[in-house]
């Protein structure tokens, strides 16, 4: 019997099946093209309008905005009100998401838009109180400065409203699912306070040394101190008695980058080919997309100034006008003190002071959290400042650490910034500096009248006792601040005989200076290299300055490579070890991208620290170890000279430490680049990508980051600074702004902003300066009519109210 299988559906002829398959594929391709096209349309529609005319409410007159080939806006206004309103509008066009993220971070409001993972960070900044300090500062500003803040906020809000109505907010807002709220004058001042935080430093070092004294013998702890503390026995005993778990208390603290700093220098007309002073400045901060700096040229009947500012703040903080130019590096003074507070066992909000229990100020904060319930959070503020050791609300203890800091006091930095723009000579600029309180900065100055000058400017406390090495007793008035270093006695130099002035976060005063500035300074190598180069030629020009800003000669390697190699005599070398050693023996001490030696040397120096500390100090505590590089350098010097060093002795002595760390460095380099040292290249590990803040969420890195990283020469200790993340080698720190000005013609300067001006991924100015930044190239920014040539022109006209 023949079985017949009935088909529910007839078989389609082969030709018909093939047509259907093709139709499905074509439909999928069409849908994909539509989706891709829609995605690109979404990205492109948020691009700012840079040509034509836009009506802006609040303007008194027409404003022209010329964007040059580098994307730098040149804003021409007929009055100061319109100038700052236009600056706010134009900056928001390019950097609105960055501005919003900056104010949220500084204010402790990130959780509201990114979720619970930002809660500890928000708690920290709510505790610190940058926004509260900015609010107190507002009353100190002049009417002119307040007016600038108001005008700037008006411009930002004009753009926010326009973008919302036209549904063209930057794509980041769509991804995170929120819209920016109205901009306020307080937002601008809070961002300014955040920069003081980023450059303030040193409280974490005090906390680390507190931990050392509790965890190790006194002799062993003191080896990692920058200097022996004044009032040593008293303060050390107070620290030992304090029942504070430093490791637990600060596990979630936000720590500024240890290498935040800068280079700046100025040479006189006697030492320049042009016969006029030349100024160079390259501040070192985190590298990201968008750049931390925003280049702008502002022009009105009252002002003609060009340079950079932090997105969200009016004016120009670093730059030049028609007669002067100025730049900064971080002084890094001790302006933060941790106080050990004794808490009343009967009332956790009372603290002992001169035998009396004093009530602390208690602020109830509510932190909004995306997709979660809001969190109520309590901030406790003693007479010295906020209780910092318990910002994450760990168990209560009888003692706590509060922080006193100049930046938490009312201050008027924006007042100084606005006055810089109008200063015409050193006396006027110096007068403007009276308003610049925090962070304390090394200002260098040049003028068309031939003056060059330097000043370490800002509020630097005078202490009754102690020197900020350790936390101090807060229950007595013995360790209070007794005012600040008198303004007229701050370190100042005008027209020195040497014909130049240079700073690189180095020690700026000798032992004869009557006031304490700091315990921790940058390693001396950048400063010494700058001095060596400036003294190497009788006459210098702008090209020399640009080359020096990108210089990658490593003086640390010149000092330590012979020492390290000397102590490897008895090491049982493998073939790979021998080849690795040859790279160091034949090295010219340049941190060049094509060389193997920089890779091995920098890994070796890092591994020395790991051998000394990793087994005994947790990663969380090592994050608080400010000045670690200087300490390791000094331990090596002492051991090489034959002095006993406990940390080295306990690890088997100097040869043993160097041999183990060398092997670790070779192994680490091999994992990165294979087992043939001849083929190792510093630039294949030491590379930069300028990561966007959302790129950590995969696959958003494909959208926001440039494909691939660019090799970068230099290191943390070279003038061409390029710090990196140790785990990956990725360059994440350096001079995102470099500028050189020859005062023969202050209307032009040579600049680079890494990675570019715009925060919009589809903008031609998004990553267009990455190659220049990594190769040492510059663009020329003009303040004369030449910037209009081939520029895009946008006209802002008064709109209806």
User: Catalytic residue positions?
Assistant: 262
Query: What is the rounded CA–CA span in Å between residue 134 and residue 149?
Result: 13
Nearest to 283 by CA among 255, 267, 307: 307
Positive or negative torsion for Cα 762, 765, 770, 772: positive
Give, in degrees to the nearest 5, the angle at Cα 312 between 309 and 315: 45
Q: Which two tokens stand for residue 641?
A: 């000279």
Nearest to 151 by CA among 418, 384, 348, 393: 418
DSSP 594-629: T-SHHHHHHHHHHHHHHHHHTTTS-HHHHTT-TTHH
Q: What 3 state SS string does 135-180 have?
A: HHHHHHCCHHHHHHHHHHHHHHHHHHHHHHHCCCCCHHHHHHCCCC
Task: Name the one residue in this structure whose structure tokens are 């007839």.
Answer: 10
Query: What is the rounded CA–CA span in Å between residue 142 and residue 603?
Result: 52
Positive or negative torsion for Cα 66, 70, 71, 73: negative
Please check whether residue 553 is in contact with residue 589, taking contact to mean a CB–CB distance below 8 angstroms. Answer: yes
State how far the alpha carbon of 55 is from the alpha carbons of 91, 140, 795, in Å.
Answer: 17, 34, 9
Please check whether residue 743 is in contact with residue 711, taking contact to mean a CB–CB distance below 8 angstroms. Answer: no
Question: Phi and psi (nearest 5°) for 536?
Answer: -80, -15
Give, in degrees to the nearest 5, the angle at Cα 731 between 47 and 707: 45
State how far the alpha carbon of 313 is from the alpha carbons of 103, 151, 156, 271, 555, in Å.
Answer: 11, 11, 10, 36, 38
- Beta-carbon contacts of residue 639 (< 8 Å; ≥ 6 apart): 645, 648, 653, 654
Please check whether residue 359 is in contact with residue 370, taking contact to mean a CB–CB distance below 8 angstroms. Answer: no
Please check whether residue 460 is in contact with residue 425, taking contact to mean a CB–CB distance below 8 angstroms. Answer: no
- Beta-carbon contacts of residue 677 (< 8 Å; ≥ 6 apart): 576, 579, 580, 582, 583, 596, 600, 666, 669
Task: Name the one residue in this structure whose structure tokens are 């001849």.
Answer: 678
Positive or negative torsion for Cα 347, 353, 358, 364: negative
Nearest to 413 by CA among 430, 442, 433, 443: 433
Query: What is the rounded CA–CA span in Å between residue 540 and residue 76?
Result: 34
Question: What Rg value do the Cα atoms of the chain yield, rounded?
Answer: 29
Q: Is 231 annotated as a binding residue?
A: no
Give the strand pairing for 461-463 and 63-67: unpaired
Q: Which two tokens stand for residue 579?
A: 């080849």
Q: Is 427 annotated as a binding residue?
A: no
SS3 92: helix
Q: Which residues pair with 342 in a beta bridge?
A: 399
- Residue 99 region, left (φ>0) first, then alpha (ψ -120 to 50), else beta? alpha
Say what angle helices 628-640 and 597-613 make with each other, to 10 degrees.
Answer: 90
Give, in degrees to the nearest 5, the angle at Cα 180 between 176 and 181: 140
The 10 Å Cβ neighbour count of residue 701 is 16
Query: What is the rounded CA–CA span in Å between residue 340 and residue 402?
Result: 7
Please check whether residue 509 is in contact with residue 375, taking contact to mean a CB–CB distance below 8 angstroms. Answer: no
Task: Give CA 528 to chain center in angstroms.
Answer: 23
Nearest to 637 by CA among 748, 556, 753: 556
Q: Which residues are annotated as a binding site?
A: 334, 337
Q: Which residues are annotated as a binding site for Ca(2+)?
A: 334, 337
């Amino acid at each position: 019997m023949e079985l017949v299988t009935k088909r529910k559906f007839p078989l389609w002829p082969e030709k018909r099946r093939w047509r259907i398959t093709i139709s499905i594929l074509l439909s999928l391709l069409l849908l994909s093209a539509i989706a891709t096209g829609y995605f690109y349309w979404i990205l492109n529609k948020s691009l700012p309008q840079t040509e034509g005319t836009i009506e802006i409410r609040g303007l008194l007159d027409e404003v022209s905005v010329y964007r040059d080939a580098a994307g730098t806006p040149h804003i021409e206004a007929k009055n100061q009100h319109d100038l700052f309103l236009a600056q706010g509008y134009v900056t928001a066009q390019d950097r609105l998401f960055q501005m919003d993220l900056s104010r949220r971070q500084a204010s402790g409001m990130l959780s509201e838009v990114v979720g619970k993972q930002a809660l500890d960070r928000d708690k920290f900044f709510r505790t610190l109180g940058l926004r509260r300090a900015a609010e107190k500062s507002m009353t100190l500003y002049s009417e002119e400065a307040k007016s600038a803040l108001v005008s700037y906020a008006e411009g930002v809000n004009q753009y926010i409203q326009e973008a919302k109505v036209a549904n063209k907010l930057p794509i980041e807002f769509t991804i995170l699912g929120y819209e920016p709220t109205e901009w306020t004058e307080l937002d601008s001042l809070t961002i300014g306070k955040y920069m003081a935080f980023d450059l303030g430093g040193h409280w974490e070092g005090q906390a680390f040394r507190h931990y050392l004294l509790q965890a190790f013998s006194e002799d062993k702890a003191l080896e990692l101190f920058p200097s022996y503390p004044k009032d040593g026995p008293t303060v050390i005993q107070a620290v030992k008695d304090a029942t504070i778990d430093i490791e637990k208390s600060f596990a979630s603290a936000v720590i500024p980058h240890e290498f935040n700093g800068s280079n700046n220098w100025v040479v006189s007309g006697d030492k320049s080919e042009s016969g006029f002073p030349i100024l160079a400045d390259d501040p070192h901060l985190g590298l990201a997309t968008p750049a931390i700096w925003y280049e702008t040229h502002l022009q009105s009947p009252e002002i003609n100034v060009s340079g950079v500012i932090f997105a969200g703040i009016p004016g120009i903080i670093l730059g030049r006008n028609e007669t002067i130019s100025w730049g900064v590096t971080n002084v890094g003074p001790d302006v933060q003190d941790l106080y050990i507070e004794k808490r009343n066992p009967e009332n956790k909000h009372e603290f002992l002071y001169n035998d009396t229990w004093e009530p602390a100020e208690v602020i109830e904060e509510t932190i909004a959290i995306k997709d979660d319930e809001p969190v109520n959070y309590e901030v406790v503020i003693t007479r010295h400042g906020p209780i910092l050791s318990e910002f994450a609300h760990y168990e209560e203890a009888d003692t706590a650490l509060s922080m006193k800091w100049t930046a938490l006091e009312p201050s008027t930095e924006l007042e100084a910034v606005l006055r810089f723009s109008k200063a015409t000579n050193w006396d006027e600029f110096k007068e403007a500096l009276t308003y610049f309180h925090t962070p304390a900065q090394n200002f260098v100055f040049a003028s068309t009248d031939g003056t060059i000058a330097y000043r370490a400017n800002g509020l630097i406390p005078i202490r009754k006792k102690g020197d900020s090495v350790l936390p101090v007793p807060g229950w007595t008035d013995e360790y209070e601040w007794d005012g600040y270093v008198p303004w007229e006695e701050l370190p100042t130099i005008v027209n020195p005989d040497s014909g130049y002035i240079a700073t690189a976060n180095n020690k700026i005063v000798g032992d004869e200076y009557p006031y304490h500035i700091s315990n921790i300074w940058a390693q001396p190598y950048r400063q010494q290299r700058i001095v060596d180069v400036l003294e190497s030629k009788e006459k210098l020009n702008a090209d020399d300055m640009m080359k020096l800003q990108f210089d990658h000669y490593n003086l640390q390697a010149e000092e330590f490579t012979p020492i390290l190699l000397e102590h490897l005599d008895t090491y049982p070398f493998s073939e790979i070890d021998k080849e690795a050693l040859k790279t160091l023996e034949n090295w010219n001490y340049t941190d060049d991208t094509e060389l193997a030696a920089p890779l091995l040397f920098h890994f070796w120096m890092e591994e020395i620290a790991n051998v000394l500390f990793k087994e005994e100090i947790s990663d969380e505590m090592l994050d608080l170890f400010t000045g670690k590089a200087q300490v390791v350098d000094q331990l090596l010097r002492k051991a090489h000279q034959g002095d006993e060093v406990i940390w080295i002795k306990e690890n088997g002595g100097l040869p043993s430490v160097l041999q183990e760390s060398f092997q670790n460095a070779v192994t680490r380099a091999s994992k990165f680049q294979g087992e043939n040292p001849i083929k190792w290249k510093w630039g294949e590990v030491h590379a930069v990508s300028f990561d966007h803040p959302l790129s950590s969420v995969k696959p958003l890195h494909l959208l926001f980051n440039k494909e691939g990283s660019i090799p970068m020469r230099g290191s943390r200790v070279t003038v061409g600074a390029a710090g990196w993340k140790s785990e990956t080698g990725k360059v994440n720190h350096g001079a995102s702004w470099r500028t050189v000005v020859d005062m023969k013609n202050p209307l032009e300067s040579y600049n680079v902003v890494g990675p570019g001006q715009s925060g919009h991924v589809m903008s031609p100015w998004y990553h267009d300066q990455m190659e220049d930044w990594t190769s040492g190239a510059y663009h020329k920014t003009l303040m004369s009519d030449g910037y209009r040539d081939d520029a895009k022109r946008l006209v802002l006209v008064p709109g209806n109210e």
